[in-house]
Chains A and B, each alone.
Chain A
């Protein structure tokens, strides 16, 4: 009887295809990744069943931390060739007698959420990059106190200045799960004081418990 000869196959595979796939995926993730900007205020947002995406422009976000501090974030966008954030800083500076240099204004355009009272804002912008995040996290937040005088409420002025620059501005509230309701109510009152009765609440998506039935 004839013996069947089994040919030994080589153990090396052609990895070109696998390599192609790996790098294709790599390119995809590299291009789609958007690194999260630094968040000076940690906000743990509640969840809801609404699935409406956060608008990508014309948005100002009021962040409310669990400790009651209020930070403000707005989009980096330009209207008529002028950066909204820089323009707002300029107008706020004029109102509160703080002059900002053009460098500080362009820096402000890229810092993300901030919680500095007008008196601390210049110091925040003058900090070197590596110290800024640590300093920003310790700031007491945008002044929302309205007990004394409406004209001293900086949040009110920030929102009204932003709305003046961008009439299409929408306001969103991003509150921490543990923040106390009076703080939120105060922010809502500030918005209603300037006739902003419609705004949005930033939430995470969760499944609808009644959808199963």
Chain B
């Protein structure tokens, strides 16, 4: 009678795991690439209350403020003061870059000027006021950029306001130059 062969060669208990590891890492790579770790952030923004009476606006001194007009082609027109009469002060053009024509330099310079002004109270000296006036031709990015500059330069008091009529003229005139 023929004998049944049992276990002539014992098969090794080891399994080749290479394909399993391959698959594992392939899936790891896939999930790593598709996972979004960079979550967007939020920047808080408080607009001036329209229903409030405007008396407290008078408390702001011209020598404490700088007005920044945002206009088309990423240009900024800025001048010192509140912008009630822009013809009194010299308007300058700046851009959003870090260079010598950058708005940051102008803001920081004005901040130093305000904090060194002997005619202001210590409280006023600490709080330079920036009036941000985006005109109808500027882009949303410009507004966010200038708000970001406020954060970078550590300016606490700023407001987004509309352009006055003399300022609209000013914008039109500086374009012609």
A36 near B144: Cβ-Cβ < 8 Å: no
User: Which residues of B are found within 8 Å of A48, using beta-carbon distances?
Assistant: 41, 43, 144, 147-148, 151
Verify A204–B41 contact, CB threshold 8 A.
yes
Residue B56 at the chain A interface, CB threshold 8 Å: no
**Cα–Cα, bound, A122→B89 (Å):** 57
Partner of A203, one of B25, B43, B46, B135: B43
- Cβ contact within 8 Å between B139 and A180: yes
**Does A197 sit within 8 A of B, measured CB to CB?**
yes
Contact between B35 and A208, CB atoms less than 8 A apart: no
Contacts of B145 in A (CB 8 A): 46
The reply on B80 being an interface residue by CB < 8 A is no
A64 contacts chain B at the CB level, 8 A cutoff: yes
Within the complex, what minimum Cβ distance (angstroms) separates B156 from chain A? 14
Known: A26-B31, A192-B50. A53 touches B17 (CB 8 A): no
Residues of chain A with a CB closer than 8 A to B28's CB:
22, 25-26, 29
How far, in whole Å, are A22 and B140 apart by their CA atoms in the complex? Answer: 45
Give the shortest distance, in Å, between B132 (CB) and chain A (any CB): 11
- A176, B41: Cβ atoms closer than 8 Å: no
Closest to A183 in B: B140
User: What range describes how many residues of B lie at the interface?
Assistant: 35 or more
Provide the residues of chain B in CB contact with A204, threshold 8 Å. Answer: 38, 40-41
In the complex the two chains form, is B38's CB within 8 Å of A52's CB?
Answer: no
- Interface-centre pick from B49, B139, B145 (highest chain A CB count, 10 A): B139
**Are A177 and B140 touching (Cβ within 8 A)?**
yes
Bound-state Cα–Cα, A48 to B41, Å: 9
> Taking A178-B140, A210-B152 as contacts, is the C-beta distance between A198 and B46 under 8 angstroms?
yes
| In the complex, B138 has a CB within 8 A of chain A | yes
Q: A181 and B136 in contact (CB under 8 A), knowing A22-B24, A197-B49?
A: yes
Interface size class of A (residues with CB under 8 A): 35 or more
Interface set, chain B 97-134, CB cutoff 8 A to A? 98, 104, 134
Q: Is the CB of A49 within 8 A of B47?
A: no
Q: How far is the CA of A64 from the CA of B143 in the complex (A)?
A: 14
Q: How far is the CB of A195 from chain B (nearest CB, A)?
A: 7
B39 contacts chain A at the CB level, 8 A cutoff: yes
Chain A hits for B38, CB < 8 A: 204-205
Chain B residues with CB under 8 Å of A200's CB are: 42-45
Known: A204-B41, A210-B152. A33 touches B35 (CB 8 A): yes
Question: What is the bound-complex CA distance between A210 and B40, given in angstroms?
Answer: 21
Q: State whether A184 touches B140 (Cβ < 8 A).
A: yes
Establish whether residues A19 and B17, one from each chain, have CB atoms under 8 Å apart when the complex forms: yes
| A residues near B148, Cβ cutoff 8 Å | 47-50, 203
Write out the residue numbers on chain B whose beta carbons fall within 8 Å of the beta carbon of A64: 140
Shortest C-beta distance, B136 to chain A (Å), equals: 5
Please state if A32 and B43 are interface contacts (CB–CB under 8 Å): no
Against B, the Cβ 8 Å flags (1 = close, 0 = not) of A177-209 are 111111111001000100101111111110011
Interchain nearest-CB distance for A55 vs B (Å): 7
A200 to B20, CA, bound (A): 47
Ranked nearest first, the 7 interchain pairs of A and B with the lowest CB-CB distance are A29-B31, A22-B24, A200-B42, A48-B148, A46-B144, A15-B17, A177-B141
Give 8 new A-B contacts, CB below 8 A, not counting A12-B14, A50-B41, A195-B51. A47-B148, A50-B43, A51-B41, A175-B144, A198-B45, A203-B41, A205-B41, A210-B152
A-B contact pairs, 11 of them (CB 8 A): A16-B17, A19-B20, A19-B21, A29-B31, A46-B145, A54-B40, A175-B144, A181-B140, A199-B44, A199-B45, A209-B104
